[in-house]
A = this chain, B = another copy of it.
Amino acid sequence: MAKGKTFIISGPSGVGKSTVLRELFRGRDDLYFSISATTRAPREGEVDGVHYHFIDVKRFQELIEEDALLEYAEYVGNFYGTPKKFVDKAMNEGKDVVLDIEVQGAIQVCTKRPETVRIFIAPPSWEELERRLFSRGTDSEEKIQKRLVRAKAELRTADVYDYFVINDTVERAVREVNAIMLAEHCKPAERMKILSE
């Protein structure tokens, strides 16, 4: 059985990444979605081991010291990180792993594991991203403008990414992500083993 591969999927707020991920995982038991560890308190309805692995700061520090995290970051006073353990278990079972992380996390993962494949979900245009952020109706005009500036800044770190998927329709974006995952399994390093005898 071939070992699974790890795929980072990043994208700016409002691009529709969650919808793409939900459709990508529909009916797929050969894919593993990495669940982050966090020191944030669970919100109502959040389940430990499903939405996050909820741990305290002491344990989070231990994970850092044990080099047990692929990446971690602080966000409004809480820590978030990707535990290696579950990622490695899934890959050893032949499953591909998806990490839903941001640019800074992507850079950390790829420093440790350069073979990780990095996919950026991009909007078809900046106008369309702005339209989507407005239509969510959750943010103020000012907050939306901040998100747009941040999205453009993220895209300027684009050389970190191997692939750009344009989310003009969810179907097309999912088709492209699936194509990337399949194509990556056709790379020589993996395939040559089969015929090297």
Is A33 engaged at the interface, CB distance under 8 Å to the other chain?
no
Q: Which residues of B contact A195 (CB under 8 A)?
A: 122-123, 125-126, 155
Contact A164 B180 (CB under 8 A): no
Contact A122 B163 (CB under 8 A): no
Chain A interface size band reads 20 to 34
Contact B186 A180 (CB under 8 A): yes
Binds B, one of A58-66, A95-103, A171-179: A171-179
Q: How far is the CB of A153 from chain B (nearest CB, A)?
A: 13
**How would residues 119 to 138 of chain A score, 1 for a CB under 8 Å from any chain B CB and 0 otherwise?**
10011111000000000000
Is A194 engaged at the interface, CB distance under 8 Å to the other chain?
yes
Contact A166 B191 (CB under 8 A): yes
**How would residues 69 to 96 of chain A score, 1 for a CB under 8 Å from any chain B CB and 0 otherwise?**
0000000000000000000000000000
Q: Select which of B122, B184, B188 is within 8 A of A158 by beta carbon.
A: B188
What 7 pairs between A and B have smallest CB-CB spacing?
Answer: A164-B191, A183-B183, A179-B182, A179-B179, A163-B186, A180-B183, A179-B183
28 A-B pairs (CB sep. < 8 Å): A119-B186, A122-B191, A125-B194, A126-B195, A158-B188, A158-B192, A161-B188, A162-B187, A162-B188, A163-B186, A163-B187, A163-B188, A163-B191, A164-B187, A164-B188, A164-B191, A164-B192, A166-B191, A175-B182, A176-B182, A176-B183, A176-B186, A179-B183, A179-B186, A180-B182, A180-B183, A182-B183, A183-B183
Interfacial residues, chain A to chain B (CB-CB below 8 A): 119, 122-126, 155, 158-159, 161-166, 175-176, 178-180, 182-184, 186-188, 191-192, 194-195, 197
